[in-house]
Amino acid sequence: MSKHYLSTNVIIETLTHNLDTYDAGPKQIDTFTLAQLETLMDKVKQFLQECTLVPFDEDKKRWDKLMTYYYQQPNVVRCRICSKCLNEYEAAMEHIKMHERQKEQEESVAKPVRLNFMEKHCIPRLNEKLSKHTKKFLSKDCTTVVERYLVESNYVQIDIDNDRVQRDLETCLKKFYPSVKLYPFGSRIAGTGSLSSDLDVFVDLQNGYFGRNYNIKPEELAEAIERIVIILRSTKEWTVDAIILNARVPLLRVISCDCDLHCDLTFSNGLAHRNSLLLQYMFNLQPTSRMLVCYLKNWNREGCLNAYTLSLMVIFLYQCHKLLPSVAKLQETPSNDLIIDGWNAGFATPTLRELNMKLWESSIPELAYKFFEFYSFEGKYFSVERHVICPYLGERRIAKSSFVSPNGEEIPPQMERLKRYMLDHQGDTNPRNLFAYNKPFVVQDPFEHCHNVAKAVPVETAARVMRAIDLSMASLRDRNEPNKRGGEN
């Protein structure tokens, strides 16, 4: 029983912790809660009557460790729609009403709502000051910060442990999946990682690089991941750190015991690998773009925006200055097409000279200022509130409201794949399958156009990021003003 029904034990442990949170002594209980507890006790009695008592043959310390790792928070209830944590009836009811209002708005999307679109989705203006960390960071010499980080990211990118871990993992899995192939991706591979960065690996178990229409189906994925957990746990080379099955992209977090390297394993398709290849290509075209991402990763120590989001924002900045090509431009020739789950992840790799573009050789302080100026609240050419950060088209004025119409008539004509996708998913109630164009930050994946890579950034966090961008821009401007005046004299 204990070995095969961990979920039952976790629930019991959680309920125990929950009851322990009440103060000792007399308590009041309403009739509804009493009825629930009585029903539960009746179920438990019936359950026990059907059970045969056997000895507990597990190690108690091992079992306590399991409970410590896996019991649910006893005082928290999570919303099924948005995972927000709640613990009071009134707050929960208000939260339900908020979702009902959102649903009503979505259902009335066919009505003309253009004028009110941003009123409902604007980012609040804050008056808070910069954090001590950000102030201290901005006072440092930008070039020195980036040079130090580049040394680290260069080392991480060519770290022999990257290949070693992949070989070990492939050897371990090949006995059970003879056709398995591994594709590394992420910041370590793109050249913006640090010593603490995980190694991201797409594990292609059965020739599934091109997606769910091929060998491994979504319903089989969880079963495959659970099998891999058993395989890895049977060895001394690997520790399973976390199993995340309910994410948009199911994930297995493991640790190589030999290299002490943390790895995030995904199993769905090769899109993430193609994303990293695109970043590598763009960074090679404009090396300062990679340097700027490294600077911003240090600036963004609170982790409000992940490295991939920052990379796409930097690439989009360069595209809007006509210093990097749009992905649409790189996909003009059909011979470069590479279709993964219905999305084109292929691209040509022309040189800057072939693209008739110049190298952007500005200093790091100038680049950082350009970034903050471009994405600030008062940006002259781009509005985070109104527009989509769209590396696919590399254009400034793609409005969020273009994606409101149910028949997709305002979607840019170059996004025919997205238009077909949105029409196919009109009745879909799973938010993971919908293009989240109505979020504070909309950073569109360059290949999988229905994916807003920043959709998880809540309004409160977006407000803090925008405030930090505005204040950072002012700080860099103030630091550079005395130098300008000195030069003028």
443 pLDDT higher than 80: yes
With respect to residue 87, please indicate whether it lies within any of the assigned structural domains. no
Statement to judge: residues 295 and 331 lie in one domain: yes
User: Both 314 and 261 in a single domain?
Assistant: no
For residues 429 and 217, the model is more confident at: 429
pLDDT recorded at residue 394:
97
Range(s) of the domain holding residue 455: 132-141+288-480
Same domain, 416 and 302: yes
Q: Is the pLDDT of residue 109 over 60?
A: no
HSE-up (13 A, CA, CB side) for residue 268: 15
Q: What is the CATH number of the domain that holds 382?
A: 1.10.1410.10
pLDDT at 4 over 60: no
Same domain, 437 and 324: yes
Confidence category of residue 21, pLDDT binned at 50, 70, 90 = low
Task: Report the pLDDT value the prediction gives residue 248, as an integer from 0 to 100.
Answer: 81
Percent residues over pLDDT 70 in the chain: 82
Choice between 93 and 253, residue whose per-residue pLDDT is larger = 253
Residues 304 and 431 in one domain: yes
Q: Name the pLDDT band for 95 (thresholds 50, 70, 90).
A: low
Residue type, 458: P
Q: What is the mean pLDDT of residues 6-26?
A: 72
3-state secondary structure of 231: helix
Number of domains in the chain: 2
Rank 108-117, 344-353, 477-486 by mean pLDDT and report only the highest. Answer: 344-353
The residue with tokens 């649409």 is 328
Q: Is residue 234 part of a domain?
A: yes
d(CA 3, CA 162) in angstroms, rounded, equals: 35
Q: What is the pLDDT of residues 445-469, one digit of tens each?
A: 999 999 999 999 999 999 999 999 9
Residues 258 and 294 in one domain: no
Is residue 261 one of the residues assigned to a domain?
Answer: yes
What pLDDT, on a 0 to 100 scale, did the predictor assign at position 184? 96
**Residue 222 shares a structural domain with residue 323:** no
Do 426 and 444 share a domain, yes or no? yes
The answer to whether position 11 is within a domain reads: no
**Least confident window among 123-127, 320-324, 336-340, 392-396:** 123-127
Residue 120: pLDDT band with limits 50, 70, 90: low
Q: What is the mean pLDDT of the chain?
A: 85
Higher pLDDT, 5 or 185: 185
Q: What is the mean pLDDT of residues 118-133?
A: 79
429 and 296 within one domain = yes
pLDDT computed for residue 116 by the predictor: 43
Residues 422 and 300 in one domain: yes
Give the list of residues 6+ apart from residue 114 with CB closer than 8 angstroms, or none. Answer: 401, 404
Residue 40 lies in a domain: no
Among 213, 246, 271, which residue terminates a domain? 271
Please report whether residue 56 resides in a domain.
no
pLDDT at residue 333 above 90? yes
In this structure, the answer to whether residues 214 and 324 fall within a common structural domain is: no
Sorted by sequence, the CB contacts under 8 Å of residue 311 that are 6+ apart come out as 190, 192, 279, 293
Judged against a pLDDT cut of 60, whether residue 338 lies above it is answered with yes
3 state DSSP class of 242: strand
The pLDDT of residue 485 is 44
Give, to the nearest 10 degrees, the angle between helix 160-174 and helix 218-233.
100
Tens-place pLDDT, residues 127-176: 888 888 889 999 999 999 999 999 999 999 999 999 999 999 999 999 99
Q: In the predicted model, is pLDDT for residue 288 greater than 70?
A: yes
Same domain, 189 and 332: no
In a domain, 35, yes or no: no
118 or 18: which carries more pLDDT confidence? 18
Question: Look-up: residue for tokens 């520790």?
Answer: 239
Per-residue pLDDT tens over the stretch 353-405: 999 999 998 999 999 999 999 999 988 889 999 999 999 999 988 999 999 98
In a domain, 351, yes or no: yes
